[in-house]
Chain A
Amino acid sequence: DGGITQSPKYLFRKEGQNVTLSCEQNLNHDAMYWYRQDPGQGLRLIYYSQIVNDFQKGDIAEGYSVSREKKESFPLTVTSAQKNPTAFYLCASGVEQFFGPGTRLTVL
């Protein structure tokens, strides 16, 4: 079955640590996206990639980094520079934005 997966579902991080969120898709989509969702709010774009080895910053890229070495994979690293990383993170692929199930990141 085609789809988009994110792991882990829940992630806990200590202050000062970098963490990497995984996003994998087997839908053969060129475009992939990372969003952040805070309680009671809509989604905000962190980074997007239209093709392998290329990506662009979204509205809130500071404190985050990405890579796109393979078409299927678009991992997001939340660095220690991100001041308020506790949020729900959603990955999507394709023009119609098929979404993964999300990762809930909590900073302890």
Chain B
Amino acid sequence: AQTVTQSQPEMSVQEAETVTLSCTYDTSENNYYLFWYKQPPSRQMILVIRQEAYKQQNATENRFSVNFQKAAKSFSLKISDSQLGDTAMYFCAFMKRYNDMRFGAGTRLTVKP
């Protein structure tokens, strides 16, 4: 079974600085997807970024980027120029092709003014 581990239950960062959230996963699959989701206090789950395992290039979305290390089974999220609105729970997730999504326990990020 696939497992996803987020080793940082809580993190904080000063506004405008950069923070990196860690995620590791365990799988024997070769083809899969990895995701980072943001869950603000409203509890709406918002897709931040997605990475296909067959792509070597790291995904980026504006201030959000990932460091995908397939051999190490690592998928960290870097948030640049942190904003107060980035304060939320962040979940790393793993999915085999089109089914069986697995989520980590989450990292609570607080951006301080």
B47-70 interface bits toward A, Cβ cutoff 8 Å, 1 = contact, 0 = none: 100100000000000000000000
Q: Chain A's nearest CB lies how many Å from the CB of B27?
A: 15
- List, in ascending order, chain A residues with CB within 8 A of B4's CB: 42
**A97 B35 Cβ-Cβ under 8 A:** yes
Please give the distance in Å from B56's CB to the nearest CB on chain A: 20
Main secondary structure of the interface of B (DSSP, over half): strand
Instruction: Specify which chain B residues have a CB less than 8 angstroms from the CB of A43 in the assembled complex.
Output: 45, 91, 93, 101, 103
CB neighbours of A101 from chain B (8 A):
42-44
With a cutoff of 8 Å between Cβ atoms, the chain A residues found around residue B44 in the complex are 99, 101-102
| B103 and A42 contact, CB distance less than 8 A | yes
Given the complex of chains A and B, what is the CA–CA distance between A88 and B42 in angstroms?
A: 12
CB distance from A28 to the nearest CB of B (A): 15
Contacting pair A45 B50 (CB below 8 A):
no
A-contacting residues, B85-106, CB 8 Å: 91, 93, 95, 98-106
| Number of A-B contacts defined by CB within 8 Å | 56
Which listed residue (A33, A96, A102) contacts B50, Cβ 8 A?
A: A96
| A contact patch SS | strand
CB-CB under 8 A from A92, the residues of chain B are 45
CB < 8 Å neighbour of A50 from B37, B46, B99, B101: B99
A92 to B46, CA, bound (A): 11
Q: Is the CB of B104 within 8 A of A42?
A: yes
Residues of B within 8 A of A37 (CB): 43
A-B contact list, 26 entries, CB within 8 Å: A31-B98, A31-B99, A37-B43, A40-B105, A42-B91, A42-B104, A42-B106, A43-B45, A43-B91, A43-B103, A44-B103, A48-B100, A56-B99, A88-B43, A95-B33, A96-B35, A96-B47, A96-B50, A97-B35, A97-B37, A97-B47, A97-B95, A98-B47, A99-B37, A101-B44, A102-B44
Chain B residues packing against A (C-beta within 8 Å)? 4, 33, 35, 37, 42-47, 50, 91, 93, 95, 98-106
Residues on A lying within 8 angstroms of B by beta carbon are 31, 33, 35, 37, 40-45, 48, 50, 56, 58, 88, 90, 92, 95-99, 101-102
